Amino acid sequence: MADKHQPDSSNSVQMGIRHKQGMPMQSQFEQAILDVYDFCIKEKEAGVPIIPLNHFSKRVCELLKISDSSVKRVLRKRENGEPLAPVKRTRNRKSPITNIDDFTRDAIARKVHAYNFQVNIYMNKYKSLLDKHFTMAALLEECKTDLGFKGCEKSLRAILQKQLGFVFKKVDNKLKLEQRRLVKKRTRSPKQQKPTKKTKKLKQNSVPVQTQTMQSGPVPDMSMGSNDRNNTIDHMGATLHAIPIHRGTHTGMEEIQIRHQAHQTDTIEHMALTGLVAHRANVIESMAMAHRANDITMQQHHRGHTMEGMTTVINEFRKIYKKCANKAISYEVLTNFISVM
């Protein structure tokens, strides 16, 4: 009797699966190859077919060592045009332990609320609590110790999220974030920002001043002897005229004059200091230097004409000279001025 499941030559749909060359074979496929090979060896030794050639299903069952129902199921798929999809591999995975009683569930929730209450109450008094976050590992350890919880971290997370409704937040991120004050300052409008010192505009009553000094008279001779140091203006016969400077205003450049009020009792020291002022590029700095030189000169008089006192005065003049921006007065002029004292 012929098998009813005979191959149909008119069927153009080829449902066979050819193994790709170079791909590893599964152990079941390798075992099927061995079974077919052994069956062929048996038929060769017998010299006749063990199973009649017209019984295709039985021959396939004997060749592959499978049941008749498996052969019929595969043939039915080919008749219906269904693809021969590989069987999905089943894995024995343990389901998370979430079936806990109400007492354990409420105890877990109270632990989380107790920590939040502790942080909110004592955050100003105990700042160390802010550095200790309530992590899943810490909560799992407490639940295992106090409540006898048998689940893992994944089970505890599922209970907190799905059953208790807690939300997790990521902390201790390594990303560098801006401070709140910087974000607030950056998002403020330009009108709200305070002008800095560099961008601060000048007031209306402020005037940029540009000064310039000019010598309009002869500078007193610095090489006089120490016996002539008490000579006055009448003895010298020299007068200093006004020192013109230029000041910038809103309307333009304005020329004004600063006059040195000469007295009949002015000595060589006063005239020399006035000459130093005339040689400076900045009138204000020159007057400050002259005032400092006058103080040092008076200190030298109190010390006496000793070598130690002269050295101290020269060192003081060196400090004044280094502070001057314009080197209109040479160091030799300063030393000559000291030598006449």
Residue 299 CA to residue 320 CA, distance in Å, equals 16
Q: Are 273 and 296 in contact (CB under 8 A)?
A: no
Q: At residue 16, does pLDDT exceed 60? A: no
Q: What is the pLDDT of residue 216?
A: 42
Look at residue 246 in the predicted model and tell me its pLDDT: 46
Residues 6+ apart with CB under 8 A from 123: 129, 130
180: Cα separation from own chain's centroid = 14
Contact 112, 93 (CB under 8 A): no
What residue spans define the domains of the chain?
28-80, 97-191, 226-339
Instruction: Give 243's DSSP letter.
Output: E
Averaged pLDDT, 319-333: 53
d(CA 324, CA 59): 117
Instruction: Tell me: pLDDT of 66 over 60.
Output: yes
C-alpha distances out from residue 53 to 31, 58, 106, 121, Å: 23, 9, 72, 89
Q: How confident is the model at residue 311 (pLDDT cuts 50, 70, 90)?
A: low
Query: What is the pLDDT at residue 15?
Result: 44
The predicted pLDDT at position 205 comes to 47
CA 172 to chain centroid: 15
Contacts of 284 (CB under 8 A, 6+ apart): 211
Which residues contact residue 109 at a Cβ distance below 8 angstroms, ignoring those fewer than 6 apart? 164
The count of C-alpha atoms lying within 13 angstroms of the C-alpha of 65, restricted to the half-sphere facing its C-beta, is: 12
Q: What is the mean pLDDT of residues 80-106?
A: 76
Does 195 or 147 have the greater pLDDT score?
A: 147
- Using CB atoms within 10 A of its CB, is residue 337 exposed (0-12), middle (13-18) or buried (19+)? buried
Q: How far apart are the first and last CA of the chain?
A: 148
Choose among 297, 263, 264, 260: nearest CA to 275.
Answer: 260
Amino acid identity of residue 179, one-letter, is Q
The closest of 209, 274, 208 to 245, measured between CA atoms, is 209
Q: Mind listing the pLDDT tens digit for each residue in 129-159?
A: 455 566 788 888 888 888 888 888 888 888 8
Mean pLDDT of 42-62: 87
